[in-house]
Amino acid sequence: MTYLLRRLAVFPLVLIGVSIVVFVAIRMVPGDAITAMLGTEAGLLTPQQRAALAAYFGIDQPWFVQYGRWLLGLLHGDLGISTTYGRPVLDVILERFPLTLELALLSMLIALVVGVPAGVFAATRNEKLSDLGVRIAAMIGQSTPNFVLALLIIYTLSAGFGVLPAMGEFAPLWQDPLRNLGQLILPAITLGFAFAASVTRISRSAMLDVLSDDYVRTARSKGASARSVIWRHALPNALIPVVTLSGIEFGYLLGGAVIVEQIYALPGLGRLVLDAILQRDYALVQGCVLFIAFNFMIVNLLVDLAYAALDPRIRLGEN
Amino acid sequence: MIPLLSVSDLSVGFGRKAEANEVVRGVSFDLADGQTLAIVGESGSGKSVTALSINRLVDFGGGKITGGSIRLRRGDGGVLDLAGAAEPQLTKIRGAEIGMIFQEPMTSLNPVLSIGTQIAESFRLHRGLTGRQAIAAAKDALDRVRIPDAARRLKYTPNQLSGGMLQRVMIATALACNPRLLIADEPTTALDVTVQAQIMALLAELKRETDMSMIFITHDIGLVAGIADKVMVMQNGQAVEQGELNQILDHPRHAYTQHLLHAVPHFASGKATRSDGRREKAPDAEPALKVDGLAVRYPVRSGLFGRATGAVHAVDGVDFELMPGETLAIVGESGSGKSTTARAVLGLVRSTRGSFSASVRKAAAGQSALPIQMVFQNPYASLNPRLTIESILAEPVIASGGRVNAETRARMTTLLKRVGLPENSLERYPHEFSGGQRQRLCIARALMLNPSVVVLDEAVSALDVSVQARVLELLVDLQREFGLAYLFISHDMAVVERIAHRIAVIYAGQIVEIGDAKSVLSAPRHAYTKKLIAAVPTIERRRQRFELDTRQVPSLVRPLGFEPGPAKWDVFGSDHRVRIEG
């Protein structure tokens, strides 16, 4: 419990650090919000009108004043107004987030369901032909760029079976689960493919290490069957690196998957951030980055809690 | 009557071409019901492979039985050749008819499962027990190995128990289904000597209760005397001699058995101590090292802000003097603070309090003389594998600000020759040397700066017994030649007896007894020293019985600001002091 409090106490510090870096970085990019907002029409503005608009959005002040105001707003739960959408930043983010979260969860599910058994299988057939097959497949999986895979999947489905991936307006899970899954399953497979390949490789090597450990020999000396040795004695000990890897990958996916979202026309967090940067929507970029950093920290915390749950030797909060 | 186990002409090989790479060749022996066979040999002799072949665990390590038979008389009277048995048959025999315990109890139990679950697994597998029944059986099994408070300890995971307790858990697991044969593969090698005595006592007692047979594998022929009926000595994959216990110990025929019995250090209760002590000859000499009131404490932190709420008193109020040309052995069990003392003397750990003075010797011209150097326990881990021997030997010179010149090189060659290594060693890398040779290299490295004190932290513990004997001889020779003072940290009383002039017994961070080696070993005064010395196995004490004792070592954690009272000593003779319990 004290451990949890201590971990949570660090969160605000990290978030402030992240926000300062983003705040300064995005203002160093040439171009300004008003030009980006109005496009060619920006040229028609008089300097007075331009100044008035800048004052309206608060972007006429020096950056530290802007930052101070923004931070003050943040303390009240206000991330500012998006210049592109004309709505509160938090609302815009929360609208996009369920899709990203769902996509990340689905990809991880696919990766674990495929990757762990494949890795275990390969480890128990070390240096045999089937092990080689799994290792080659994993290598291909890791080195295929996901846009290539996405296009291959779409092409095979449409040219081979005359089926098109479900497109159109995105349907949230709670409104139309079937349509929602139809829209997300292919992007999840696309993202889960490389993820599964990494999980396979790391499960295989972790299992190989564990299978030569003394307690595995002890289990065999007790007369445990090969299956019990693998699933009951070895696997729980091999899961730590798998959890580490999954946590990192999952954290990245929570930041959005720009290319896959683009190809499957999904309104996820990745495209939101990209558009916000292109539009110089300062408030939205800051909000998104802060949100993504926060998610990453939560995921890291969950990973550490998972370690402690998996291995009784790890006691949290001890140096 | 057919013997319980009959191994004949067994050969075992490893790798793809197992026939060409045999590590066990033509081993035969019989084992009757209730009998204990000890297999004795050094590393690489094939003793463990022989044992692992019996329950065919050798298959999982890449081994293959290339010839011979292993006939086991089963519970129903039928005979099965394990050498040719199929895996499903073997899983029914392992644990049910053949139990096994291993060398490292710390790593031989699954770290993520509770010990209750692990013991209960045997009952589930072979007795068909489930749920509460299996757990109740596990509790009985723990009671049987005399683990106090068994019901509560069932829920513990292995990291919550000491090595000795874990080895008891291993024994409980192995004996859960009353196997008729127990294979014990160096079951006490990783344990402290008093714990070893406890485990040996337990094994002997359980064997009497159940009339099982046992194969006991060890490198320590001294340990054999306490437990075996028959002894088989192995060397290079072959059984060079086997016979009844007394016959082997008293009338060994094979040269290697004679070597094991006579050339290798065995504990002789103070009869084999050195007689070249310098104390009496030069009573007023300046000590090479003087340690005064040494204390090493580590804070214990807790709470939200990690405030220190207590301290681990790892070493508390240790003082001693070490004369030139003298060996002071610090003996004690793991966690007693002996290695911490050594490291504090070298400044490798920060001492909380206390002072040292070490006399710097008159250095030869151009040589910087650091007074204290160290040799570590593991010669495989303490030499950088990417450096040549020349660079390794140059390191202390460079570290102390010296320059590598012709003179340094000359010293390297002299030292290498002196420690008995070939002249062309300088350009070679550590992996080209054996364990004993590496330890010689470490000794040469320690001597590069012409130190007055060498700290040897378990310096021969990782070596095979016959290599150990030769390195000890080298150390004694070097000491005489260079007038070195040794601070010799060890848990092994047999080794200590061979090299020490004086002995300090350390217990729970404090010296409880210190004095002349002969006096301490032959007439120990402190209760702990007595217990320690009684636990050392010797060839003379055969079939000795130990009392089971489950007392724990006192906790070293003290409240913040705690100061132990001043030590009071009882003095016996000219050089023998014992701390009075306060």
How are the residues of chain A apportioned to helix, strand and coil, as percentages rounded to the nearest 5?
75, 0, 20
Q: What is the DSSP letter of A81?
A: B
Count CA within 13 A, CB hemisphere, residue B429: 5
| Closest residue on chain A to B299 (Cα) | A319
Question: Is B49's Cβ below 8 Å from some Cβ in A?
Answer: no
SS3 B547: coil
- Cα–Cα distance measured from residue A191 to residue A170, given in angstroms and rounded to the nearest whole number: 18
The pLDDT value recorded for residue B334 is 81
Cβ contact, residue pair A220, B60, below 8 Å: yes
Q: What is the pLDDT of residues A277-310, one digit of tens each?
A: 888 888 888 889 989 999 999 999 999 999 888 8
Q: What is the DSSP letter of A153?
A: H
Question: Is A219's Cβ below 8 Å from some Cβ in B?
Answer: yes
Instruction: Give A239→chain B minimum CA distance, Å.
Output: 11
Question: Is B89's Cβ below 8 Å from some Cβ in A?
Answer: no
Sequence-distant (6+) residues with CB within 8 A of A200 are A114, A115, A116, A118, A119, A122, A134, A137, A138, A141
CB atoms within 10 A of CB A185: 15
Give the containing element (helix H, strand E) for B218. strand B213-218
Q: Which residues pair with B230 in a beta bridge?
A: B37, B244
Among A15, A32, A22, smallest CA distance to A297 is for A15
The pLDDT value recorded for residue A230 is 93
Cβ contact, residue pair A313, B99, below 8 Å: no
pLDDT band at A110 (very low <50, low <70, confident <90, very high): very high
Cβ contact, residue pair A312, B55, below 8 Å: no
Cβ contact, residue pair A233, B304, below 8 Å: no
Among A198, A189, A191, smallest CA distance to A137 is for A198
Question: Is A221's Cβ below 8 Å from some Cβ in B?
Answer: yes
Q: What is the DSSP letter of B363?
A: P
Distances (CA, A) of B10 to B67, B71, B84, B237, B348: 6, 11, 12, 10, 50
Closest by Cβ to A223, choosing from B104, B125, B301: B125
**How big is the A-B interface in CB pairs under 8 Å?**
78
Cβ contact, residue pair B121, A220, below 8 Å: no
Q: What is the DSSP letter of B58?
A: G
Tokens found for residue A306: 């998972």
pTM of the predicted structure, to 2 decimals:
0.82
To test the contact with chain A by mutation, choose from B55, B110, B160 the residue with the greatest count of A C-beta atoms within 10 A, namely: B110
Q: What is the pLDDT of residues A234-256, one digit of tens each?
A: 999 999 999 999 999 999 999 88
Contact A283, A80 (CB under 8 A): yes
The pLDDT value recorded for residue B363 is 42
Cβ contact, residue pair A224, B91, below 8 Å: yes
Name the more confident of B207 and A60. Answer: B207
Closest by Cβ to A215, choosing from B94, B108, B126: B108
The pLDDT value recorded for residue B366 is 40
Cβ contact, residue pair A224, B110, below 8 Å: no
CB contacts, 8 Å: B303 with chain A: 2
Contact B74, B104 (CB under 8 A): no
CB atoms within 10 A of CB B312: 15
Contact A264, A187 (CB under 8 A): yes
Question: Is B99's Cβ below 8 Å from some Cβ in A?
Answer: yes
The pLDDT value recorded for residue A185 is 87
Question: Is B86's Cβ below 8 Å from some Cβ in A?
Answer: no
SS3 A20: helix
Closest by Cβ to A223, choosing from B110, B112, B126: B126
- Cα–Cα distance measured from residue B207 to residue B201, given in angstroms and rounded to the nearest whole number: 10
SS3 B295: strand
CA angle B260, B269, B490 (to 5 degrees): 75
SS3 B581: coil
- Cα–Cα distance measured from residue A118 to residue A105, given in angstroms and rounded to the nearest whole number: 20
CB contacts, 8 Å: B157 with chain A: 312-313
SS3 B232: strand
**Largest interatomic CA distance in chain B:** 80
- What one-letter code names the amino acid at B456? L
Above 90 in pLDDT, residue A55? no
Provide the chain B residues 469-508 that lie in CB contact (below 8 A) with chain A.
none
Q: Which residues pair with B579 in a beta bridge?
A: B569
SS3 B579: strand
CB atoms within 10 A of CB B362: 9
Question: Is A158's Cβ below 8 Å from some Cβ in B?
Answer: no
Interface ipTM: 0.81
The pLDDT value recorded for residue B94 is 93
The pLDDT value recorded for residue B359 is 59
Q: What is the pLDDT of residues A140-150, one digit of tens each?
A: 988 988 889 98
The pLDDT value recorded for residue B368 is 43
CA angle A250, A254, A257 (to 5 degrees): 100
Question: Is A87's Cβ below 8 Å from some Cβ in B?
Answer: no
Residue by residue, DSSP assigns B380-429 as: TTSS-TTS-HHHHHHHHHHHTT----HHHHHHHHHHHHHTT--GGGGGS-
To test the contact with chain A by mutation, choose from B58, B90, B91 the residue with the greatest count of A C-beta atoms within 10 A, namely: B91
Cβ contact, residue pair A215, B99, below 8 Å: no
Report how far apart the first and last C-alpha atoms of chain A are (Å, whole number).
16
CB contacts, 8 Å: A310 with chain B: 112
| Closest residue on chain A to B103 (Cα) | A214
The pLDDT value recorded for residue B362 is 45
Q: pLDDT 10s digit of each residue in chain B, 582 long?
A: 788 999 999 999 998 888 888 899 999 999 999 999 999 998 889 999 999 999 999 988 888 999 999 999 988 888 999 998 999 999 999 999 999 999 888 899 999 999 999 999 999 999 888 888 999 999 999 988 888 888 888 999 998 888 888 998 999 999 988 899 999 999 988 788 888 888 888 888 888 888 899 999 998 888 888 889 999 999 999 999 999 999 999 999 999 999 988 877 888 888 888 877 766 666 667 788 888 888 888 887 776 666 777 788 888 888 898 888 899 999 988 878 888 888 888 877 777 776 666 655 444 444 445 678 899 888 888 999 999 999 999 998 888 888 888 888 999 999 999 998 988 889 999 988 988 899 999 999 999 988 889 999 988 888 888 888 889 999 999 999 988 999 999 988 989 999 999 999 999 888 999 999 999 999 999 988 998 888 888 877 766 665 666 555 667 777 777 777 777 888 887 788 888 876
Place of tokens 């060398």: B103
Closest by Cβ to A224, choosing from B111, B121, B304: B121
The pLDDT value recorded for residue B278 is 63
The pLDDT value recorded for residue B364 is 43
Closest by Cβ to A2, choosing from B96, B109, B304: B304
Above 90 in pLDDT, residue A121? yes
Residue A251 — φ and ψ, nearest 5°?
Answer: -60, -45
Contact B578, B260 (CB under 8 A): no
Above 50 in pLDDT, residue A168? yes
The pLDDT value recorded for residue B284 is 66
Above 60 in pLDDT, residue A268? yes
